[in-house]
């Protein structure tokens, strides 16, 4: 296979595309991987609707983009320590927050967060269970010059316990999973420069930012509230309806995502495999 076999169709105006013509049952040619990577930098998240990958195939594909990163504060699939099991039971209470049910970038509480990940749809409800994705380049670029100048030097404190404590800043308003805290808080620039595209982006993560450096949570909250609302503006987003066997490849540095909890009475199972990157750098 060469790259000319790939069919790439944008999903929305500013983020997201579907790619057809990839056979994950065989090793992918370098030209195909190059084309997929270029599509990822352009569209930020790409989807393969009928990938139907096994856990082994998902790990092998993800490894093309960086070393695999094992999950923290989340369960792995039995026998596959690099595969995060993302599931919600059919009888889960409606008020129980689903996995990923707040705008966030995955595991930004790490000193070196994952650069990206793949997400495979194993079992999905007949309706509902979609995921929203947003473009953090545009979230930065559409701010006023004055606001960008204010934000450029700011440092955000990311914490694995931020989703548990409403007094620590802008967190999951519906209540997050009850997490242990084996990792120390980390500091990342609020405005991040992407290492491949060299574009500035608004590096916000609703689940994990506790406050700004040298500010209290209470002082930080008003600005964080605004930034999270701004980053989720509909014109920056796309919405993906999962089908069984679909596979997503996501740049975790310049996007946020939100798993919608609207499938009460149905089971949903996804497999996530993360790949490593670099410590975030500011402008």
Are 275 and 114 in contact by the 8 Å Cβ rule? The answer is: yes
Q: How many Cα atoms within 13 Å fall on the side-chain side of residue 239?
A: 9
Q: Residue 19, SS3?
A: strand
Catalytic, 257? Answer yes
Nearest by Cα to 261 from 92, 83, 53: 92
Nearest by Cα to 282 from 209, 183, 208, 195: 195
Catalytic residue selected from 158, 211, 271, 272 = 272
Catalytic, 228? Answer no
Cβ count within 10 A of residue 219: 13
Structural Rg of the chain based on CA atoms: 18
Catalytic residue selected from 82, 88, 104, 228 = 104
Are 1 and 36 in contact by the 8 Å Cβ rule? The answer is: no
Catalytic, 106? Answer yes
Q: How many Cα atoms within 13 Å fall on the side-chain side of residue 187?
A: 8
Are 168 and 212 in contact by the 8 Å Cβ rule? The answer is: no
Catalytic residue selected from 88, 106, 110, 211 = 106
Catalytic, 23? Answer no
Please give the angle made by the CA atoms of 276, 153 and 237, to the nearest 5 degrees: 55
Catalytic residue numbers read: 104, 106, 257, 272
């Amino acid at each position: 296979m060469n790259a000319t076999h790939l069919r790439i169709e944008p999903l929305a105006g500013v983020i997201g595309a579907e790619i057809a013509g990839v056979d994950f049952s065989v090793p992918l040619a370098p030209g195909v991987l190059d084309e997929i990577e270029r599509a990822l930098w352009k569209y930020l998240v790409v989807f393969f609707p009928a990938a139907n990958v096994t856990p082994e195939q998902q790990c092998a594909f993800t490894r093309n983009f960086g070393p695999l990163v094992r999950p923290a504060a989340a369960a792995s699939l039995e026998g596959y320590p690099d595969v995060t099991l993302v599931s919600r039971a059919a009888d889960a209470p409606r008020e129980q927050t689903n996995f990923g049910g707040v705008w966030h970038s995955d595991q930004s509480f790490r000193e070196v967060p994952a650069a990206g990940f793949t997400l495979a749809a194993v079992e999905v409800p007949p309706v509902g269970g979609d995921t929203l994705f947003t473009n953090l380049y545009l979230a930065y670029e559409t701010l006023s010059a004055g606001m960008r100048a204010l934000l450029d030097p700011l440092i955000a404190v990311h914490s694995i316990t931020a989703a548990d404590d409403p007094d620590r800043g802008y967190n999951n308003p519906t209540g997050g999973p009850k997490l242990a805290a084996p990792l120390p808080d980390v500091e990342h620039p609020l405005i991040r420069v992407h290492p491949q595209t060299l574009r500035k982006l608004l590096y916000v993560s609703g689940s994990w930012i506790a406050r700004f450096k040298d500010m209290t949570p209470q002082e930080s909250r008003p600005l964080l509230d605004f930034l999270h609302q701004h980053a989720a503006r509909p014109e920056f987003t796309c919405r993906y309806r999962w089908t069984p066997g679909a596979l997503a490849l996501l740049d975790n540095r310049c996007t946020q995502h939100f798993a919608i909890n609207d499938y009460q009475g149905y089971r949903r199972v996804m497999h996530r495999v993360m790949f490593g990157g670099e410590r975030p750098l500011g402008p």
